[in-house]
Amino acid sequence: MDAIFYHGHGRQGFKLTSSAASVYDRPVVAAEIYGAFQEDKFTVNTLYQAAMEVFVRGINSLIPHGMWYDTEPQSVRIPPLISGYSKKLQSALRQFNDFAARTSMMLTGGKQIAEIGIIYPIASLQGFYHFEAKDNNGFGKFAPKETDYLTIGDELTNTLHRDFTFIHPQLFLSKQYIIADKQVILSNKINSQAYKVIIIQGGKVISYYTLKKIQQFYNAGGKVIATSMLPTKSAEFGLDTGINRIVKEMFYGTKKTSTRMILKPNGGAAIFLLNPDSAILIKTLDQLTPNADVIIKDSNNSTAGNGRFSYLHKVRDGKQIYYFANSTTDVINAEVMLRGK
Amino acid sequence: MKLEIWDPKTGEKTTVKYFKYVWQKGEWYTEFGLDLKAVNSVFLVGY
């Protein structure tokens, strides 16, 4: 992936890349970084802030952009210059290189603990998109207004501190995703994950077969949250009726203005959140899965310096490895609870 | 659980001395205070 243009740009989407690495069980996830960041605003802090934010979202190898062999200004066609020839960075690079190498080493491979799976709403995005649309400026922001997968992912990472993995709806249908013990298991050799909650993100369109498998999970005692808009159209031809039947069965009685939870005797639960802000998401997740892997009480919740405070938990070589990254320009004092003793 | 904090920037390693076990909603948790400087990150490694 590419962390480009400025610190914070595209941050909400970084986990799409690391989620793909999870499903394919790949140990290394690389990011090109710092390309076309504004030279005049680039500082030593920027080096660390951008790096921490990709690391904590599952990337573990950095490829700095802008390491020009010829450092004459006319040759550095896309600043900033990230090298020992940069007067403002040169004295900091040795320590930064140590930091980047150590962090890469610690985060490479292993198994990530993420207990929420978010169904990537690709069918809704594709169903809406067309190149000639009047409002399509070509920068990837032409999406239906109910699209919320990036903002909710961001809330989970930065505010609620509940880690998650995006799930591609087609891959979800494969035998790699098994429903067992009221969980969806991503059955990988190394990076296996177990999702206690599946989130269907806002969107009009979903694959009928994907929704059917989500319903199987719900019927088997699984917890499902739908946000912003329930689907009404199938990604496949002629299966809209099936979509509407399943939605009715799972979210029956849910007026599109309510947040009623439909419970099954075996523990299965389905809830539709029309306005999934932080407060309602916290309340819902605490109700559905109160025993989070990591609980962080951070009363500050700072975003100073356009930074964020987030964590990542991996298990490797029998060790529990937690990475806590504070890219804000504030001090963080948090109470942290780790499941287990 | 033995907890060590490792700062990847400086390489400094310290042991978390002050923590407690908390029973919450049917699970044991290890609770401790985490202080992080501005623009900084740490690893917490549990054995």
Residue range B25-36, pLDDT digits in tens: 899 999 999 999
pLDDT of A246 strictly over 90? yes
A49: nearest CB among B26, B36, B39: B39
Would you tell me which residues 263-302 of chain A have a C-beta closer than 8 angstroms to some C-beta of chain B? 290-291, 295
Would you tell me which residues 24-43 of chain B have a C-beta closer than 8 angstroms to some C-beta of chain A? 24-43
A291: nearest CB among B27, B37, B43: B27
The percent of residues above 70 in pLDDT, for chain A, comes to: 97
Which residues in A lie closer than 8 A to residue B27 (C-beta atoms)? 291, 339
Per-residue confidence band for A258, with pLDDT thresholds at 50, 70 and 90: low
Q: How far apart are CA A191 and CA A108, in angstroms?
A: 11
Which residues in B lie closer than 8 A to residue A290 (C-beta atoms)? 24-25
Q: How far apart are CA A62 and CA A55, in angstroms?
A: 9
Instruction: Name residue B24's beta-bridge partners.
Output: B27
Q: What is the DSSP letter of A66?
A: -
* Beta carbons of A121 and A206 less than 8 angstroms apart: yes
Mean pLDDT, chain A, integer: 94
**Tokens 């591609």 correspond to what residue?**
A168
* Beta carbons of A264 and A273 less than 8 angstroms apart: no
Q: What is the pTM of this model?
A: 0.95
Residues A297-316 pLDDT 10s:
876 789 999 999 999 999 99
Higher pLDDT, A284 or A258: A284
Nearest CA to A66 out of A45, A96, A86, A87 is that of A86
Which residues in A lie closer than 8 A to residue B6 (C-beta atoms)? 106
Residues A192-238 pLDDT 10s:
999 999 999 999 999 999 999 999 999 999 999 999 999 999 999 99
**Tokens 């499941």 correspond to what residue?**
A339
- Angle at the Cα of A35 from the Cα atoms of A111 and A114, rounded to 5 degrees: 20
CA B7 to chain CA centroid, Å, is 11
Residues A56, B46: C-beta atoms closer than 8 Å: no
H or E stretch covering A249:
helix A240-251
How high is the pLDDT of residue A68? Answer: 79
Residues B1-47 pLDDT 10s:
789 999 999 999 999 999 999 999 899 999 999 999 999 999 999 98
Residues A154-172 pLDDT 10s:
999 999 999 999 999 999 9
What are the CA-CA distances from residue A236 to residues A9, A166, A174, A207, A250 (Å)?
34, 21, 17, 6, 20
Instruction: Name residue B5's beta-bridge partners.
Output: B14, B44
CA of A277 vs chain B CAs: smallest distance (Å): 25
How high is the pLDDT of residue A77? Answer: 85
pLDDT of A261 strictly over 70? yes
